[in-house]
Chain A
Amino acid sequence: MQILESDFLIIGGGSAGCIAAMRALQVAPDLRVTIFEKSDIVYGGSIARGMDALNIVAIPGKTTAELYLEAVRAGAAGIVDAGPSYVMAERSYALLKEMEGWGVTFPKDENGQYKTLKYHVKGEFQTAMDEPELKSMLVKRALDLGARPVNRVMGLRLLTDNGRVAGAVGLNVRTGQLVVCRAKAVLIASGGVSRLTLPNSGYLYGVYDYPGNTGDGFVMALRAGAGVTGMEFTQRTMLIKDSNMPLLAICVTRGGKVLDCNGTVIMEGEVNNINAMNEAFTEGRGPVHIQLSHLPEEKIREIEHILFTTERPVNERFFGGRHIDFRKQDIELWPTEYLLCGGHGLAGIRVNERAETAVPGLYAAGDVASVAKQHLTGAFIFGEIAAEQAAGYIASAPDTHIHEDDVAAVREELAERFSAKDRDIDVRELEHKVRRVVGDYLVAPKNAHKFELWKYWSDTFREDFKHVAIHNGHELSKLYEVENILLCADCSALAGDFRKESRWGECHRRSDYPLQDDANWHCHVVIKMKDNHLNAEKVRISELGEEVSL
């Protein structure tokens, strides 16, 4: 058995993974740092190219970590562990300064102050940034320090040794080959689930968040014994109809107005009430629009500049193709598909303020980790924290042992999927159907009857997996992705059924328990896996100074 020897394995080379590699090599330059990246590391991940803002920065003199904690508590309806969110806000200004050191531009106003925008209920934490090549910049720094990327490899299974993490098995998504990596510490930074349900276009990859994110990290963590939480927080947002590309904050924070079909203003000046858009839509006052035509030419150009260069440059082609000029026409918004994501929502692997999970040596950061609504700031800061912690852990941890039987089991599973017998389902159609049924039963309005119906489909799909025709490594990776989506959907169904109340507006609205019930449900719902069986339990919310129970 060939083994790729490493000290610190990072699964996922996006924002969190790359900064973790950088940080690990800054604090321990001799560390062997390996990155499994499912795509190609230069542009892979949710930011792909650039970003227009660093979402959460507590700028001294302007806002504080305490205020951020209040803001995120309000945004997450109280389901927040104080420690991680507080630590993130506390370190956020130092992060901004560090990024300036890389050459990232944070524009300032005429008084020399950073340009901030109000996105949260309280405080202006969103800080403008102008860096269309942020990702490639980050990658270059990580690689220059000696991190070793292994492209086209997705994380498949973690390997453990006496309860601690010992490495991982990855799958080359082109060849279908397995890559076994030994490591003393592993960071999962592989994103959320962006392909949970179908987008309204029906195009499998026409989703808002990077479609490579299929919950691989949730599944690896669950199987290794870590907990996941917030899986009932099935989130969608209101974005450009059909293209599902982001623009709301960019427009509203620059003077755009969100209107319902009667012309009533839903949002103006601040992006603080996403639920109001959802409500307008659900109540039939949709579709909602963003109006920019009242803005001066200069502002419209600024918005166009960001949309067409930094955020998703292809926006220009989309609007051009539909003959939409922001000076004359409104932008129609429509709900996106649903996603599970720690960056924008609450779903994630349970972590504490040290980015640790329940498994010794296993860390999680970014959209795959459960730091509520952490956005890019959280990915960067918890990537750094995970690296600092892992470097310390590696220094004192004994060598790990890889059990050949564990690898052989993965190899057998893989060989079984390649066997040609009775296989006639196309993996794309399988994915289409799984995501359609998830959209039918596991999103608002939710109820116990729907969760019951889901169980039939969950079992049926597991049977269908045995009949999917696989012709090459790429299709094999797609099958694993759909299996991961399904297990995440099972977690969502279990957690959604378990939480017998409604909370977070459309993100968890139950028709059979329509009210928020703080007396019974002001808590996390944490899911763990034992003997291939998922269990949900209530876990109390930790206050500042208390340990997060993993």
Chain B
Amino acid sequence: MNDSNIAIDTTLCLACGNCVDRCIMDNLRLSLPPCRQTSPLGVNYQGIARLLASGKEEDAARELRRATPFGGILAVLGDPYAEKTCSRGQAGGALRFTDLLRYLVAAQPGIVYGQEPRRLPASTKKAAVIGAGPAGLQAAWALRMSGAAVTVFEAAPEAGMTLTRTPAGEDGGNEALPAVPAEVMEKTLAMLREAGIRFLTSTPKGQADLDSLCAEYDAVLCACGRGAVLPADKNGYVKDNLFAAGSCVKNQKSLTPLQAMASAAKAAHAARNLLEGFDIDYESDERTARGLERFAGLGDREIDDLAPVAPAGGTYTGEEAREEASRCLGCGRPYERNKTCWYCLPCEVVCPTQALHVRIPYLIR
């Protein structure tokens, strides 16, 4: 039974995974493009590039927003991981994803810094996050999206200061790391606050406070940098309802912000499993990984140390951005893994670009 019922036009496919999510026969899987596989925040660059190239700037911004609320920060820090693995690197140079992000953030701030229209699950659980650095922000957002009420404790007078004030890695090692402009951080924090995350600044919490916090909250995620040393397993689990991420994990070498965020995503996922009472790696519902085999970019893989990406110069014009985006080869696509097609069409209905065509199986044609 090698006949393929689902024909994909790879020149149109965004590799968004909608079809995989909606397939009622569990037939489809998504072959991830390398950029998305390696992007620490799981950004679907293929989708963004394809949408930009076809002039659908707002949709491109939505695709970015769907992966992360930290598009503004990511555009400053750059995503060297995605660029390193871009297949186009073999032919004329990798796509300049970072410059595309910068363009998109500048062109569509309302969407990049806006709320994602999704229904949060009803939850009565409370979660505490210690630290409002890159790891703390990522953890707070992920936990909030699972429905929990999230409070972030930060010792500094403002959240996000490790990103805005320290133009370097967490312990000053990386000279080249750009500082996140205050304006970017403000917009990001405003959006997180609007999503219901509570920030308590100038409220230091350290190792000594963990027991009382663990008693008060259903889950506690410590991401306070060097303020604590906690023995966590690879998923960030410490003990009971305590989790840790970033450089407060025992024996953790220093981390770049993106590495810290990836580690926090993993720990937040473990905390989410605890809060929800069951452990499903993906696809428990609409808010998880959109039908991927694993969390894109947030799996067990180590995130390498990579130098940040220097900006190309000035910001792209719309024309330049479209031109650069149109160089995308479109490596990702859905495929039929299980040969269980009922030719029922939901996959086609939810495809945003009509890239997918359902054929009648040969035995029936």
Binding site for B on A (CB under 8 A): 2-5, 39-40, 42-45, 48-49, 143-144, 146, 148-153, 172-175, 177, 179-181, 201-206, 210-212, 242-243, 312-314, 317-318, 321-322, 428, 474, 477
Contact = CB atoms under 8 A, between A and B. Distances in A.
Contacts of A5: 277
Contacts of A150: 280, 284-285
A243 B363 CA distance: 9
Contacts of B215: none
A211 B25 contact: yes
A317 B359 contact: yes
Q: Ordered nearest first, which 4 A-B pairs have the shortest CB separation?
A: A39-B24, A43-B346, A203-B363, A4-B278
Given A321-B365, A474-B26, A177 B344 contact: no
Given A48-B344, A206-B361, A314-B344, A149 B25 contact: no
A205 B340 contact: yes
Nearest to A145: B122
Contacts of B360: 243, 314, 317-318, 321
A206 B364 contact: yes
Contacts of B337: 474
Given A177-B281, A474-B26, A43 B364 contact: no
A181 B358 CA distance: 36
A499 to B, nearest CB: 32
A40 B342 contact: no
Contacts of B276: 4
B322 interface: no
Interface string B322-363: 000000000000000111111111100100000000111101
Contacts of A43: 22, 24, 344, 346, 349
Interface in B198-223: none
A44 B24 contact: yes
A31 to B, nearest CB: 11
Contacts of A4: 276-278
B171 interface: no
Contacts, number: 115
Contacts of A49: 344-346, 349
A210 B285 contact: no
Contact of A152 (B121, B283, B342): B283
A428 B27 CA distance: 14
B77 interface: no
Nearest to B347: A43
B54 interface: no
B279 interface: yes
B342 A42 contact: no
B280 A175 contact: yes
B279 A2 contact: yes
B23 interface: yes
A153 B288 CA distance: 15
A212 B280 contact: no
B252 interface: no
B22 A42 contact: yes
B91 interface: no
Interface string B294-323: 000000000000000000000000000000
Contact of A40 (B24, B345, B349): B24
15 contacts: A2-B278, A43-B22, A45-B24, A148-B121, A150-B284, A152-B26, A173-B26, A174-B26, A175-B282, A179-B278, A202-B363, A205-B342, A211-B340, A211-B342, A317-B343
Nearest to B339: A428
B288 to A, nearest CB: 9
Contacts of B115: none
